[in-house]
Amino acid sequence: MTTQRDRFFQTIGNAYKNGRDDLVILTADMGAASLNEFKDDPNFLINIGPAEQLGACISAGLSLQGKKAYLYGIVPFITGRCLEQIMVSICSQNLPVTIVGSGSALSYDLAGCTHHGICDLGLMRCMPNLTICNGSSLEMVEYYANYSLGCKTPLYVRMDKKTYSYKQPIDKEAGYIFRKWPWNNDKPIIISTGAITNYLAEQLKPGIGLIEVFQFPFNELDLKYDIMNMKVVSVEEGYKIGGLGDSLSFLPNVTKIGFDNFCEAKPREEYWKILLREALNA
């Protein structure tokens, strides 16, 4: 079954095969099956090994020479470990590097806290010039892969390790910043991001609104007009500080649901149930 990272790199690989010879992928992890066919093409795919700090700097250097560089690794290592290199080498020079993180939130649930991607959203939101794309499905990841090919500024594409596909197609009229479900104005509304949104969409009763945020930062006005006077509950599969909930601080009435500490190594669905319960109690 195609994973999100494979869908992403299939899209980038196809662009390369169709003539985009400016594309270069630096990888600190060769786990993506879609990269295998390029293993012997050192002009396109370079395995830098577990050296993410160096990778961030190399991607900046490639970019300064006109290359479109992709820097790929597992979420906590490709963000937190090399945060200063991302800030200085990439973001301070506003270079069109795309950082690709696989394993957002508790994707690597049983791997333990070293592999949990629960702090990256907060860390990367602090990076000037950087846009975060948090697609929760194959469709959105493919969209962001195509978007990245033309993007002239730093991008962080955050992907889940597992495969999710939307039952309903994306509403292109509504754009690619939010996905919204219908709601009643007299009920609270839940705002979420990432794979847990798919779970919430299945579990919530009709009338309770749900909004999925795909992209950070976003224009506050796009949300403000709709929900300014409503009770809002943010639900994130991540550490509360700095993440989705804090990005909604412009709203007057937000209850933030998320993690207060590191998570145990257990199936993420158990955490999803806890987060849903806390959201409904709020």
Partner 1 sequence: MIKQLQQKANEVRRKVLENCYKYKNSHLSSCLSAVDIISTLYFGGFIGEGVGKFVLSKGHANETLSTILEMMGMQRVRHTDHPEFGNVGIETTTGSLGQGLGIAVGIALANKINNSNEKVYVLVGDGEMMEGLTQEAIHSIYDLDLPIKVLIDKNWYASERQPGSLLFGTVLKTMINGHDVEQIYDALQTDEKVIVCDTTKCFGLHRIHDINLINWNMIHYLTPNDDNIEEFRKELNDYSER
Q: In this chain, which of 30, 33, 88, 126 binds partner 1, going by CB under 8 A? A: 88
- Do β-strands 68-74 and 155-159 pair in parallel, antiparallel, or remain unpaired? unpaired
- Do β-strands 98-102 and 68-74 pair in parallel, antiparallel, or remain unpaired? parallel
Stretch that binds partner 1, among 85-93, 133-141, 167-175, 270-278 (CB under 8 A): 85-93
What CA–CA distances, in Å, run from 11 to 4, 96, 170, 174? 11, 18, 18, 23
Stretch that binds partner 1, among 84-92, 162-170, 220-228, 267-275 (CB under 8 A): 84-92
Stretch that binds partner 1, among 87-95, 155-163, 172-180, 190-198 (CB under 8 A): 87-95
Minimum CB separation of residue 58 from partner 1 in Å reads: 4
Cα 127 to chain centroid distance, Å, stands at 14
DSSP string of 224-250, one letter each residue: HHHHTTS-EEEEEEEESTTSHHHHTTT
Site for partner 1 in 93-122 (CB under 8 A): 93
Residue 43 lies near partner 1 (rule: CB under 8 A):
yes
What is the SS3 assignment for 23? Answer: strand
Nearer to partner 1, 64 or 174 (CB): 64
Stretch that binds partner 1, among 39-47, 112-120, 132-140, 204-212 (CB under 8 A): 39-47
- 53: amino acid identity, one letter: Q
Contact present, 56 and 85 (Cβ < 8 Å): yes
Contact present, 195 and 164 (Cβ < 8 Å): yes
Residue 24 lies near partner 1 (rule: CB under 8 A):
yes
Nearer to partner 1, 67 or 180 (CB): 67
What CA–CA distances, in Å, run from 22 to 52, 76, 86, 96, 148? 21, 27, 21, 12, 13
Tell me the per-residue interface mask from 52 to 71 with partner 1, x by CB under 8 A, - otherwise: -xx-xxxxxxxxxxxx-x--
| Footprint of partner 1 (CB under 8 A) | 24, 42-43, 46, 48, 51, 53-54, 56-67, 69, 84-85, 88-89, 92-93
